[in-house]
Structure 1
């Protein structure tokens, strides 16, 4: 064979839909650089990993960054890690959390085409001692899409919360 390449394409049959994740903001994040931090967020879903921009010297950053992640047939939680960017050493962990996306996926599958529905609540992920939710997180149909807003308390750290907005997108969108 010559130096030609074969173009690889993902088999869409292994995915059930797309998860649009908006990393909205962080609040009361931990100090990692003397009096402040330079935070960024890493999101992990299955084998996929995306990251926000670094917000310099800010313990209450507003990222407002959106990512679209294909959701595989067998999926686990959406994992979130917050790091402090360091120029001359390894980045410091500032906490982590997991978001169970099953309530959102279940609502999306149960209600089918959300464009045919009026705005209403279709589900809820309840705060328990076993999850990172700050408060109960309703799942709503808004403008023809299934959405969920949630605030997660960061684990393994002295303080911090991150707010996300999730939206379910069928494969054809």
Structure 2
């Protein structure tokens, strides 16, 4: 296993048009996975357009990998059902963090790089990596795969650890 180089703060903002699997109700939550780390949001009951606004944190270990997300419908009596999954390659975010933009930026907000929908991500549209108040941030809207509908909106922030800060 590689070295821990920072923290990834994933704010799961909201879901849109989450697929319906149970006619009685829908109780979606999001599970994120980075390497062997997992974290989950709270369950939002009876909602197809849930708003979580919840921050989940994972350690970033080199080599930087793929952020995987899965939306589930919590079932009170049986196994939770999947409502789709998505993924995002974190390598572009890692490259911009290594570029040292956070330490150099004197403006309040600066777009650093544009990421377009591709085979290594589930982006709905273009996404920008920005330096906001000296922090590297990416806002993304991901389409859920292997399901008839659904999207997730996230804000991803890379935090260098003090002992691993790059210059």
Normalised TM-score (structure 1): 0.87
Which one has the largest radius of gyration? 1
Does 1:54 find its partner at 2:43?
yes
State how 1:103-142 maps to structure 2 within 5 Å: 103-110=92-99, 112=100, 114-117=102-105, 118=107, 119-128=109-118, 131-142=121-132
The 8 Å contact of residues 96 and 154 in structure 1, kept in 2 or not, is answered as: yes
3-state DSSP class of the match of 1:162?
strand
**Which one has the bigger strand percentage?**
2
Over aligned residues, Cα RMSD in angstroms? Answer: 1.7
3-state DSSP class of the match of 1:16?
strand
The answer for the alignment partner of 1:98 in structure 2 is 87
**1:74-129, Cα deviation, whole Å (9 max, x unpaired):** 2321000000000000000000000111111110111x161430221111221135
Structure 2 gaps of 5+ residues are: none
1:131 to partner: Cα distance: 3.1
Runs of 4+ aligned residues of structure 1 deviating over 2 Å after TM superposition are: 128-131
**1:142-170, Cα deviation, whole Å (9 max, x unpaired):** 11111000000000001000001001101
The answer for the alignment partner of 1:43 in structure 2 is 32
Q: 1:130 to 1:109 in 2, by over 3 A?
A: closer
Instruction: Tell me the matched-pair count.
Output: 161
The 8 Å contact of residues 16 and 48 in structure 2, kept in 1 or not, is answered as: yes
3-state DSSP class of the match of 2:121?
coil
1:132 to partner: Cα distance: 1.0
